[in-house]
Amino acid sequence: MNRLARLAVLALPFAGLGALWSQSDYDSRQGAFWDVAVRGYDPRDLLRGHYVDSCTIGTV
């Protein structure tokens, strides 16, 4: 296989992953930011034990 084709095959993962990263980063910067007030609580699940979860109590 010629060198150009090998180079293309090796460049494809780099270009593709780089493009995915750029797209994800761009998407994450779109839209509005919301500050949401939450309150922690212990759901006391019999199977999963004690842990902390949160519930929304309104927007700020």
Q: Which stretch binds other proteins (CB under 8 A): 4-12, 33-41, 48-56?
A: 4-12
C-alpha separations of 53 from 11, 42, 60 in Å:
44, 6, 20
Using DSSP, state whether 57 is helix, strand or coil: strand
Residues contacting residue 7 through CB under 8 Å, at least 6 positions apart: none
Contact between 39 and other proteins by CB under 8 A: the answer reads no
Q: Which stretch binds other proteins (CB under 8 A): 21-29, 33-41, 42-50, 52-60?
A: 21-29
Residues in contact with other proteins by the rule CB under 8 A: 1, 5-7, 9-14, 16-18, 20-21, 24-25, 27-28
